[in-house]
Structures are given as structure tokens and as C-alpha cells.
Amino acid sequence: MTSSIIEHLRSRGRLDRMFVDGEWLMPQTQARHSVVDPSTEEPVAEIALGSAAEVAAAVAAARRAFATWSVSSIQSRTLLLDRVHSLILERAEMFAQAISLEMGAAINMARSTQVPSAAEHIRVARDNARSYAFVTHRGDITLMREAIGVCGLITPWNWPLYQITAKVGPALAAGCTVVLKPSELSPLSALLFAEVVHDAGIPPGVFNLVNGNGPEVGAALAEHPDVDMISITGSTRAGVLVAQAAAPTVKRVAQELGGKSPNLILPDADLLCAVPAGVAAAFRNVGQSCSAPTRMIVPRARLQEVERIALEAASSIVVGDPRSQQTTHGPVANRAQFNRVQEMIGIGIAEGARLICGGLGRPQALSRGFYCRPTIFTAVHPRMQIAQEEIFGPVLALIPYDSVDEAVEIANGTVYGLGAHVQGKDLGAARAVAARIRSGQVHINYPPWNPQAPFGGYKRSGNGREYGIEGLEEYLETKAILGGVQDASSSGNAQEQS
């Protein structure tokens, strides 16, 4: 199936093309990028990279299409999203294989999590658009929520399809037209997604895909004067560059950036539940999740108990070939990520944190591939680099605390504020602690994932919110119409849908 994914894309000419104005277009330049299988370190395909010329063509197409798409009926937009949703589910196995190949997700994880959760963003955007009040009244003011315009969407490689659908779904539902630039490191699932959107019957120019790297294609999108909004999910470094490039044209900038999420274990927590689930959450997707709870903040008196349970939980992780059904965790996604994880493990050792499992190098019996050892450090001081910086790999820090006030201070003591967890039996106390944490989401006792819950960052984790109603509103402008109402006293707070 792996090679059949490449064969599927190659035989249709997709690897050499971008999707612009409803057509699969050859770029003007010859630039290519090798897609590397992280489990073998071998190139598996080459894709064409676009340039500012393809960005310009795609933005022009999106601008033309905006005139009609932005005033199309909600029914027609939701029907389109409905078809996109069905096609993703129909082609789920292809998507899972592509994601596993391009970024190393274990195939079972790609099937059970990466693809279904990506489809959910389309479903949620469809459902929310159906019930959203695009026109409301406040006294004699009419408030219209209208599509902001042409949107540039820049996405990362870690949850490649999921990050695409989290932007494209609500943007299209809102009536925006889009130019997507996926990560050059995970282009296969993005090309399959463009096929889905095409096959769903999207009008030309409403959705465009330009492959390319950040400094060239991403920057060209961010600075383009005819792009009204740019939304990036990626590192804080890239988010800052995008905001700088966007500033002269005063476009809206939405940033979903890095994190170093805390998992605060309150003194009354049931450790046998809280700790294994915390280890699993930290190592989910091999730690390559922006909201991974990689700082477990633990009552000092219970640290040894936590260490023992955490070690046991980590022992059940099976790192290996992502194609194998037995594998729970594949490699990290690319060489840069592998090097970063190794560097940070080395820094943790040098800082004097104590390893309870994992460490430098690959797991035994894996001599090639970007495989890392699931690593847990204990007795980590909150100011250590491994407790402050996003590592984006399977590295968990256990940080002891003496009082709940100190624990909250540690939880809030990084430049990030994306996700957070609180564990405890007394739900009132857990909620009180959740209220004191400065982050976009706080999860108490591991509730199930909910795509209606807004997601986004405080502090340097970003600006704006994705998912749910807030994710739709991100792509809307507000217009207030004053006057022109025949009988202002009768308008009240009525709601209408367009």
C-alpha cells in the first residue's frame, strides 16, 4: 500500500503539480523536495516545490472565486463540506498510509486517530455553519458576520491532515477562499486532500494548494497584499516571521504555535490512573503534539511512587516499524527532529536531571530510522532548559512541588500557554486550579477529545482559536449596519441565518 500511495500520486502527475484554480498546474521552477521515509531514512518520492509565482496565481484565483463563494448559500457550502467529509472517510486507508509514510506515525495510530480526528474538523465546521447566526440584531443595529476574504493557510507536519482540516473546514464554511501551503515535509496527505476537495466538486479557485518551503512560499503568502488573513500552525519562530511579513498589509494573523503543557497532579489524585494516562498523553504521536503534556508536576512526597508507575507505563511502549501492527510508536518525523530530541536529552543529562528511562540514541535493535527512546527525567527543576523549551519528541519531565500554589506557579512558569491538565479526585479543587492556569485549554482527569472545544494559545503559544464556533468565527469579519431599520423598536435581539 505504501508504494501504491506514491504510485497513485505519481501516475496522476500529482507529485509534479500544484492545485490552482481548479487545475493541476506544473510550477514554473524546477525546484524539488525529497520526501524521506523516517523509518528508513530513504527518499521515497520527490515533489515539485512552488514559488512566489504559484502563490500569485493561486491568490489571484482565490480572489476571483471569493466574489461568488462568499455570497453562496450556507446549504451549498455545507453540502460541499459534507462531500469532503465522506470522501476523507472513504479514502481513510490511503490517508493513513500516506501519513504513516511521510511522518512516521504508527499505522494503527494513523488509522485510529490521525485520520478520524481530521475528518471531525470538517464535520464540525459543516454543523456549526448550519446553525450559526450570520446576521443578528442588537437594538437597531444589524450585525453581519461575513467572510474575511482570501486566506493563506500554513500547516505543519506533525498532524498533517488534521491541521489542514482544522483550517480549511471553517474557512470554507465561513465563505472564505483559501491558498493552502502544507509542510514541505508532509506533502503526500495534503495532495490526497486536494484530490478529495477537487472530487467533491469545489468551484475553481475556492481551494488552492501550493507546495513549497516556508521562507519562499510561506513568506510569499504571508506578505501578499491580496491575502486578507494568514493562519499558521507551526513553531513560535515561524509564527513570528509570518506576523512580521504580514504586518505591512495589516492582514489578520492567526497563530497556533508551540507549547510546553503542564500536567498538574494534585495531592489527592489517583496515581494509578493519572500517571499512566499522563505518560501516554505526553508520548502520543511520539511527543510531536503542540499540546503534549510534557511537564508532569508532582507532589514531592509522592515523587517516588510516580516514578515507579511512570516507568512501568513507559515500558509498555513498543517503538518500531510504523507499518507493524504491534508498533505503538514509530520514529520521529525527520532528521532535524531526531537531532533536536537527542540534543535536548543531552542537555537534560548535563543539567543534572535524573533519567528513569530512555536516554540518548536509538532503542536497541533499531540501527537506522529516526527512532528515539521514550525518555523520562525526574527531579527536574522548573528552570531547567528541558522544563522550559518545547522538545517535540518523547521526553517527559517530572517536576516535584511542595504546595499547590507552587505547582500553579510552575505550571504557568513558561513562555507558553496552549494546553494544560489537572488531575485530582476533588473536582471543585481541580476546577479552582484549572481557573488559575494561563492556557487556552485545561483538561481535568483526561476527558475525551472534543472538537467543539476552542483550541489555541495564551502568551507565545499563539493568537486566535481553532475548532468549534470560535474556529469558524476566526474567518469572519463583523459589520455593523446602523439605520435603515423601519421599526427599530420591534427588532429586539432576533437572529437570522443567511
Per-residue mark of binding to ligand NAD, 379-408 (x: CB under 6 A): -----------x-x----------------
Residues annotated catalytic, as ranges: 256, 290
CB atoms within 10 A of CB 267: 16
SS3 per-residue string spanning 147-169: ECCEEEEECCCCCHHHHHHHHHH
Distances in Å between the Cα of 196 and the Cα atoms of 98, 395, 399 are 14, 36, 45
Spatial distance between the Cα atoms of 38 and 333, rounded to a whole number of angstroms: 6
Q: Which is nearer to ligand NAD, 369 or 457 (CB)?
A: 457
Q: How far apart are CA 251 and CA 237, in angstroms?
A: 19
Q: Work out whether 218 is an interface residue with ligand NAD (CB under 6 A).
A: yes
Binding to ligand NAD by residue 259, rule CB under 6 A?
yes
Residue 378 binds ligand NAD (CB under 6 A): no
Q: Which residues are registered as beta bridge partners of 233? A: 256
Say how many residues touch ligand NAD, by CB under 6 A.
Answer: 32
SS (H, E, C) 298-348: EEHHHHHHHHHHHHHHHHCCCECCCCCCCCCECCCCCHHHHHHHHHHHHHH
Q: Is 58 in the site for ligand NAD (CB under 6 A)?
A: no
The SS3 call for residue 410 is: helix
- Residue 222 lies near ligand NAD (rule: CB under 6 A): yes
* Residue 129 falls in which region: left (phi positive, over 0), alpha (psi -120 to 50) or beta: alpha
Distance, C-alpha 46 to centroid of its chain: 24
By beta-carbon proximity to ligand NAD, the closer residue of 109 and 357 is 109
Touching ligand NAD, residues 448-467 (CB under 6 A): 457, 462
CA angle 240, 243, 247 (to 5 degrees): 145
Q: State yes or no: residue 418 binds ligand NAD (CB under 6 A).
A: yes
Provide the terminal-to-terminal Cα distance of the chain, rounded to the nearest Å: 44
Give 33 or 381: the residue with its C-beta nearer to ligand NAD: 33
- Least Cβ distance, residue 230 to ligand NAD (angstroms): 8
Among 122, 154, 179, 191, which residue sits at the site for ligand NAD (rule: CB under 6 A)?
A: 154
CA distance linking residue 349 with residue 60, whole number of Å: 52
Taking only Cα atoms into account, the Rg of the chain, rounded to an integer number of angstroms, comes to 23
| Binding-site member from 117, 235, 388, 498 for ligand NAD (CB under 6 A) | 235
Residues 277-316 that bind ligand NAD (CB under 6 A): 290
Closest CA to 277 of 263, 259, 260: 263
Q: Which is nearer to ligand NAD, 136 or 235 (CB)?
A: 235
**Biggest CA pair distance of the chain:** 78
Candidate list 66, 69, 157, 283; residue touching ligand NAD; CB under 6 A: 157
Note whether 153 binds ligand NAD by CB under 6 A: no
Q: Does 238 bind ligand NAD (CB under 6 A)?
A: yes
Q: Which residues pair with 377 in a beta bridge?
A: 355, 397
As a whole number of angstroms, the distance between CA 229 and CA 15 comes to 28
Q: Which is nearer to ligand NAD, 258 or 358 (CB)?
A: 258
The piece of 72-80, 107-115, 208-216, 363-371 that touches ligand NAD (CB under 6 A) is 208-216
470 binds ligand NAD (CB under 6 A): no
Considering beta carbons, is residue 87 or 286 the nearer one to ligand NAD?
286
Query: What are the b/e assignments for 298-324, b being 16+ CB within 10 Å?
Result: bbeebbeebbebbeebbeebebbbbee
Does residue 242 interact with ligand NAD by CB under 6 A? yes
Task: Give 264 or 333: the residue with its C-beta nearer to ligand NAD.
Answer: 333
- Decide: is 158 part of the binding site for ligand NAD (CB under 6 A): yes
Q: Per-residue contact track with ligand NAD, 165 to 204, x per CB under 6 A?
A: ----------------x-xx--------------------
Nearest to 164 by CA among 192, 143, 140, 142: 192
Based on the shown chain and the rule CB under 6 A, indicate whether residue 417 belongs to the binding site for ligand NAD: no
Residue with cell 503534549: 292
Contact range with ligand NAD by CB under 6 A, out of 150-158, 300-308, 373-381, 396-404: 150-158
Comparing CB distances to ligand NAD, the nearer of 87 and 194 is: 194
413 part of the interface to ligand NAD, by CB under 6 A: no
Q: Rounded to the nearest whole angstrom, what is the least distance from the CB of residue 232 to ligand NAD in the complex?
A: 6
For binding to ligand NAD (CB under 6 A), which residues are involved? 154-158, 163, 181, 183-184, 213-215, 218-219, 222, 232-235, 238, 241-242, 256-259, 290, 390, 392, 418, 457, 462
